[in-house]
């Protein structure tokens, strides 16, 4: 099995697929799967551009809309996680994953899927300490605060991934796990990115929850992007297992943004994309932990009187499989939920969430809640069905379909009341990372992942409830102004041990 790994796509699908085709012809190989590590930018139309947290000058339609409309088809099965520059309104329709276009699959806020015998996990977004413990409260229409916080990693997603017991072969994240620079050639990295030095030396470069998942799940491979540079590392765990880490650049000429991974035949299997029964069982077991409130929501842990281990039993996984007619994720599930791209249409920000049938069908079968539907039900608002009151012109047939107006769903989610953990006192030494389990009750306080390659601007009017707590300065640390990195580097062979073999050389 041969897999192509892409760093930050930034909507340049045409260039990425052209690069893959060039590699296939030059090396006489066939790529079975393309994995993108965030900033995918699944922008369908001008309205989606207004749902991206980027300045006006970076709001480019790029090429995804061609694959959404049917003008083109992805030549290779593509799966991706979200980053910090996404059309968040579209991705919020698919919190548990789904097709965003034929042959292009989004893994959701967090998720696990199988491709053949390969088990792939991923977590979308980036880590910001001030939003980590909050519920999934963001909903259209976004304000200047929620436009950014909507893509910030939440403790619920990390807690769910920490419940996995079966082997995860490959993990994806957008930002790097914190501390990963200790396992590779740090000096070479700092020569290329000297402005990383202060964060590296203070152990503040990267995501704290991703670091904990790295040592908890111990996957064979971990791929990331976000910082717009290639970096390889080898992490040796206490049980003598290893994780090969590789971060890749963004899709630009003469950048190391694409890498081919050659896996043994034992992973081939049927080479079909399938649901993972353990992950779906975890979603079902933890549905009651879902909160849509703009307040801190602590996950259960030892010492309370509630269940805090939700790793599914064999019986729970078997019963879960019976709820679905098939575990294969077929692209026939895809449906357009917004108008296709019209160059003459204005950039009008979307104002109302759209019901995606992929999400509603999965939630109904599993008996779980869609966060956006819960928000809408609480507020008394109505979700619109695909395409709302507009007309959509399908490219494969000159036929116009006018769809219904509103959909309302009852709220099933129940809130679990748990005692809040004690916040560490100021100057208290940092907790030791466990190599076997994640302590779900420990709040992640430091806002350690700096958005060093994006386009965020400082936000001073964060519309959140204030709480009096110790270490208030940590919670109120402003987001740094980001600039797009333009540093390029020469192309040399990868130094990652046997993890990647065919670097993409030159521009396409």
The pLDDT tens digits of the residues spanning 136-191 come to 999 999 999 999 999 999 999 999 999 999 999 999 999 999 999 999 999 999 99
Q: Residue holding tokens 């061609």?
A: 66
Sign of the Cα pseudo-torsion (276, 282, 285, 289, in order): negative
Whether the per-residue pLDDT at 498 is higher than 60: the answer is no
Angle at 428 between CA 424 and CA 431, to 5 degrees: 75
Angular region, 11: left φ>0, alpha ψ -120 to 50, beta rest? left
Please tell me the distance from the alpha carbon of residue 20 to that of residue 34, in angstroms, as a whole number.
9
Whether the per-residue pLDDT at 274 is higher than 60: the answer is yes
Q: Work out the burial of residue 252: count CB atoms within 10 Å of its CB; fewer than 13 is exposed, 13-18 middle, 19 or more buried.
A: middle
Please report the pLDDT score of residue 347 as a whole number: 86
Please tell me the distance from the alpha carbon of residue 156 to that of residue 48, in angstroms, as a whole number.
26
Pairwise pLDDT comparison (58 vs 505), residue with the higher score: 58
Condensed to tens digits (0 to 9), the pLDDT of residues 2-47 reads 999 999 999 999 999 999 999 999 999 999 999 999 999 999 999 9
Tell me how long the chain is.
508
| DSSP type of residue 158 | H
Whether the per-residue pLDDT at 504 is higher than 60: the answer is no
Please report the pLDDT score of residue 303 as a whole number: 87
- Considering the chain, what percentage of its residues have pLDDT values greater than 70? 76
In the chain, where are the structural domains located? 2-417+482-503
How crowded is residue 125: how many other Cβ atoms within 10 Å of its Cβ?
A: 27
Mean of all residue pLDDT scores within the chain = 82
User: Cα–Cα distances in Å, from 256 out to 7, 22, 184, 251, 502?
Assistant: 9, 15, 17, 8, 11
Residue 363 tokens, joined: 């939630």
CA-closest candidate to residue 169, choices 211, 122, 216, 220:
220
Pairwise pLDDT comparison (278 vs 399), residue with the higher score: 278
Please report the pLDDT score of residue 387 as a whole number: 63
| DSSP type of residue 296 | B
Please report the pLDDT score of residue 331 as a whole number: 95
Please tell me the distance from the alpha carbon of residue 483 to that of residue 85, in angstroms, as a whole number.
13
Cis amide leading into 31 (omega within 30): no
Sign of the Cα pseudo-torsion (249, 250, 255, 260, in order): positive
Condensed to tens digits (0 to 9), the pLDDT of residues 348-375 reads 989 999 999 999 999 999 999 999 999 9
User: Do 494 and 503 form a contact (C-beta atoms < 8 A)?
Assistant: yes
H helix or E strand, kind and range, residue 200: helix 197-201
Please report the pLDDT score of residue 72 as a whole number: 98
Please tell me the distance from the alpha carbon of residue 304 to that of residue 447, in angstroms, as a whole number.
28
Angle at 96 between CA 94 and CA 98, to 5 degrees: 55
Please report the pLDDT score of residue 384 as a whole number: 87
H helix or E strand, kind and range, residue 101: strand 98-101
Whether the per-residue pLDDT at 481 is higher than 70: the answer is no
């Amino acid at each position: 099995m041969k897999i192509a790994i892409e760093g930050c796509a930034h909507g340049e699908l045409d260039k990425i697929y052209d690069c893959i085709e060039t590699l296939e012809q030059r090396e006489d190989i066939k790529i079975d799967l393309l994995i993108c590590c965030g900033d995918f930018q699944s922008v369908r139309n001008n309205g989606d551009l207004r749902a991206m947290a980027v300045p006006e000058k970076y709001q480019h339609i790029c090429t995804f809309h061609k694959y959404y409309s049917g003008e083109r088809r992805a030549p290779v099965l593509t799966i991706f996680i979200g980053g910090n520059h996404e059309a968040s309104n579209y991705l919020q329709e698919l919190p548990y994953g789904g097709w965003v276009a034929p042959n292009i699959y989004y893994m959701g806020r967090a998720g696990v899927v199988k491709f053949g015998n390969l088990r792939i996990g991923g977590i979308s977004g980036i880590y910001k300490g001030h939003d980590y413990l909050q519920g999934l409260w963001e909903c259209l229409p976004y304000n200047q605060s929620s436009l950014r916080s909507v893509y910030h990693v939440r403790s619920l997603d990390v807690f769910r991934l920490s419940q996995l017991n079966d082997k995860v072969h490959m993990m994806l994240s957008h930002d790097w796990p914190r501390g990963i620079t200790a396992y590779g050639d740090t000096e070479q990295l700092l020569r290329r990115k000297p402005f990383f030095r202060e964060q590296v030396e203070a152990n503040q470069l990267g995501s704290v929850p991703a670091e904990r998942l790295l040592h908890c799940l111990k996957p064979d491979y971990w791929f990331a992007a976000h910082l717009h540079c290639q970096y390889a590392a080898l992490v040796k765990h206490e049980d003598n297992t290893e994780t090969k880490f590789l971060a890749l650049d963004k899709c630009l000429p003469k950048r190391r943004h694409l890498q081919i991974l050659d896996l043994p035949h034992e992973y081939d299997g049927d080479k079909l994309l399938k649901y993972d029964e353990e992950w779906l069982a975890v979603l079902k077991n933890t549905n009651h932990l879902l909160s849509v409130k703009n307040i801190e929501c602590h996950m259960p842990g030892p010492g309370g009187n509630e269940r805090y281990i939700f790793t599914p039993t064999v019986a729970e996984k078997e019963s879960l499989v019976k709820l679905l007619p098939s575990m294969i994720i077929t692209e026939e599930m895809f449906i357009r939920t917004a108008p296709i791209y019209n160059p003459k249409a204005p950039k009008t920000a979307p104002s109302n969430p759209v019901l995606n049938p992929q999400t509603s069908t999965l939630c109904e079968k599993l008996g779980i809640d869609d966060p956006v539907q819960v928000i809408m039900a609480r507020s008394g608002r109505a979700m619109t069905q695909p395409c709302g009151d507009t007309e959509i012109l399908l490219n494969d047939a000159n036929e116009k379909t006018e769809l219904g107006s509103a959909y309302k769903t009852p709220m099933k989610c129940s809130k679990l009341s748990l005692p809040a953990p004690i916040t560490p006192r100021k100057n208290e030494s940092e907790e030791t990372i466990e190599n076997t389990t994640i302590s779900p009750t420990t709040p992640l306080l430091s806002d350690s992942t700096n958005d060093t390659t994006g386009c965020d601007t400082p936000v001073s009017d964060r519309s959140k409830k204030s709480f009096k707590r110790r270490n208030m300065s940590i919670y109120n640390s402003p987001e740094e102004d980001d600039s797009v990195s333009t540093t390029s580097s020469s192309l040399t062979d990868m130094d990652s041990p046997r993890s990647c073999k065919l670097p993409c050389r030159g521009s396409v």
